[in-house]
């Protein structure tokens, strides 16, 4: 029989589709078999025993031992194995994945290699597709990579999340380059412990590397050093390239009007000075990881360094959105204690007066990081404004109360739970020489409240607010 599509979501079924009844985090795929059949599914793939009496005639059932593995094999077969026709580059870590992947994609394009990007901010082929997940399901990955192959792309750079690795969403893929940025507290609502979080990240290097694939490790955190020690027991050292302390080190020369850095290749003694248009101290480390990836791919250092001047911060990553009243207004995705610390410290050299921060924390996620983020904000910023992020099914005020547990009352602090009002309050507060950071949502164009996503963009709100203020004055 002709198969017209594959899906693991019953709502995505059409006539002649295969439905993969896989177990999700909270739901069982078998519960959605009737809906899938009503929508046109002709084949059901499941781990649980076949139930002939419950399935109408003309619908086939296949029982498999490992439904996730079957899903991967069927999806990649269906799309004619696009992963074998692309150079796959995967990057994992808590912070920096988006910047490293986006920089890598940009540099490869500049070097004449048509390169796609799959990650948090969007999926990019020759068009940009809104991202539903940092690393989507293997079905969507197969579809995206098939379109890349059809359009003549030669490489794909992918952010690989810990959730995707733990849930085997990249089953069947093999990466030529696997990169690691850093590891700090995040997603403990899912992984429960930092050890489990680390072990999930490690899978990219142990389970998904090609036989000749190379690893680029950043020694930004102790987890990078630990990963190196564990990997070198079964990988030859010439397949592991260390940045930010080993093969390549980046030193910051200046940050005021764009990051100026010195790249030192320690083995050869080569030194390059580069003036970029990037904002953010942490981008120096991301640059080192990016250069490491391009070097591991075999590109000459001179060619790589020459193109670093072309790089710009990705959307929502320390993005300079506006200047108002002699102050600079930035947006950043920082939603972990370490990311918020990196972002705020990166802006300190730009301030001539005060550093103001607006942020909240997501609902139904790791509540333990909330007071830590409050502590970071109060320690570094001069004025803190607490607001709502994506409260999901929690009350915004309860989330803010958790953040306030980390405050000591040593800096001015305002609490405005409505994010739109908080942004307006912060902008009206600005004086000559101030720097304002609006953190937590970055590239997101929605706010998630009680199961619904409402249109909301920090960037748009900033520009609308400034326009309103100017019209009134």
Domain boundaries, the chain: 5-65, 80-310, 319-471
Q: Does 132 appear as a known binding residue?
A: no
Q: Does 370 appear as a known binding residue?
A: no
With contact defined as beta carbons under 8 Å apart, do 322 and 252 qualify?
A: no
With contact defined as beta carbons under 8 Å apart, do 74 and 20 qualify?
A: yes
CATH topology for 319-471 is: 3.90.190
Q: Does 246 appear as a known binding residue?
A: no
Encoded tokens for 176: 């030529």
Q: Does 94 appear as a known binding residue?
A: yes
Q: Does 317 appear as a known binding residue?
A: no
Q: Does 10 appear as a known binding residue?
A: yes
CA gap 255, 348 in Å, rounded:
10
Q: Does 286 appear as a known binding residue?
A: no
Q: Supply the pLDDT for residue 26.
A: 79
Q: Does 134 appear as a known binding residue?
A: yes
CA gap 418, 406 in Å, rounded:
21
What residues contact 264, with CB distance under 8 A and at least 6 apart? 248, 249, 250, 251, 270, 271
Q: Does 9 appear as a known binding residue?
A: no
Answer whether 5-65 and 319-471 agree in fold. no
Q: Does 222 appear as a known binding residue?
A: no
The angle that helices 97-110 and 283-296 make with each other, rounded to 10 degrees, is 50
Q: Does 93 appear as a known binding residue?
A: yes
CA gap 261, 3 in Å, rounded:
54
Q: Supply the pLDDT for residue 24.
A: 77
Q: Supply the pLDDT for residue 447.
A: 97
C-alpha distance from residue 113 to each of 53, 84, 91, 104, 107 (Å): 54, 16, 18, 11, 9
Q: Does 162 appear as a known binding residue?
A: no
Phi/psi class of residue 355: alpha, beta or left (left: φ > 0; alpha: ψ in -120 to 50)? beta
Report residue 216 CA to chain centroid gap: 18
Q: What residues in the chain have per-residue pLDDT under 70?
A: none
Q: Supply the pLDDT for residue 257.
A: 81
Q: Does 181 appear as a known binding residue?
A: no
Q: Does 419 appear as a known binding residue?
A: no
Q: Does 169 appear as a known binding residue?
A: yes
Class of domain 5-65: alpha beta
Q: Supply the pLDDT for residue 204.
A: 98
Q: Supply the pLDDT for residue 310.
A: 87
Q: Does 433 appear as a known binding residue?
A: no
CA gap 247, 363 in Å, rounded:
41
pLDDT digits (tens, 9 = 90+) for 383-418: 999 999 999 999 999 999 999 999 999 999 999 999
Q: Supply the pLDDT for residue 398.
A: 97
Class of domain 80-310: alpha beta
Encoded tokens for 357: 């921060």
């Amino acid at each position: 029989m002709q198969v017209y599509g594959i899906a693991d979501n019953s709502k995505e079924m059409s006539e002649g589709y295969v439905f993969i009844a896989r177990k999700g985090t909270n739901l069982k795929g078998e519960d959605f078999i009737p809906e899938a059949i009503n929508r046109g599914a002709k084949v059901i793939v499941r781990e649980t025993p076949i139930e002939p009496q419950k399935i109408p005639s003309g619908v086939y059932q296949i029982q498999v031992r490992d439904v996730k593995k079957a899903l991967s094999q069927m999806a990649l077969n269906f799309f004619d194995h696009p992963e074998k026709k692309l150079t796959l580059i995967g990057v994992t870590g808590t912070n920096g994945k988006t910047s490293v992947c986006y920089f890598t994609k940009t540099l490869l394009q500049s070097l004449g290699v048509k390169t796609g990007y799959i990650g948090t901010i969007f999926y990019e082929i020759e068009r940009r597709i809104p991202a539903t997940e940092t690393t989507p399901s293997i079905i969507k990955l197969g579809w995206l990579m098939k379109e890349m192959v059809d359009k003549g792309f030669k490489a794909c750079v992918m952010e690989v999340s810990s959730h995707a690795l733990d849930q085997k969403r990249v089953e069947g893929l093999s990466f030529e380059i696997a990169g690691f940025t850093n590891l700090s507290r995040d997603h403990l609502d899912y992984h429960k412990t930092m050890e489990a979080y680390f072990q999930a990240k490690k899978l990219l290097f142990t389970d998904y590397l090609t036989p000749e694939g190379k690893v680029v490790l950043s020694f930004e955190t102790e987890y990078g050093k630990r990963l190196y020690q564990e990997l070198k027991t079964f990988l030859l050292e010439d397949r592991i390239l260390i940045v930010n302390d080993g093969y390549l080190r980046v030193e910051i020369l200046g940050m005021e009007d764009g990051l100026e850095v010195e790249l030192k290749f320690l083995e050869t003694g080569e030194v390059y000075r580069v003036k970029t248009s990037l904002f953010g101290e942490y981008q120096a480390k991301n640059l080192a990881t990016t250069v490491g990836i391009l070097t591991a791919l075999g590109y000459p250092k001179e060619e790589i360094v020459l193109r670093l001047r072309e790089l710009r911060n990705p959307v929502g990553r320390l993005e300079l959105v506006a200047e108002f009243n002699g102050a600079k207004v930035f947006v950043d995705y920082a939603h972990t204690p370490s990311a918020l610390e990196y972002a705020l410290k990166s802006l300190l050299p730009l301030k001539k007066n005060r550093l103001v921060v607006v942020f909240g924390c997501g609902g139904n996620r790791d509540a333990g990081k909330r007071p830590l983020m409050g502590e970071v904000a109060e320690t570094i910023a001069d004025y803190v404004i607490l607001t709502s992020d994506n409260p999901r099914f929690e009350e915004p005020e309860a989330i803010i109360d958790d953040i306030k547990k980390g405050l000591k009352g040593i800096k001015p602090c305002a609490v405005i739970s409505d994010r739109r009002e908080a942004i307006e309050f912060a902008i009206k507060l600005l004086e000559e020489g101030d720097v304002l950071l609006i953190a937590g949502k970055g590239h997101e164009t929605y706010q998630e409240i009680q199961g619904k996503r409402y249109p909301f963009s920090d960037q748009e709100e900033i520009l609308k607010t400034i326009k309103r203020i100017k019209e009134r004055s």
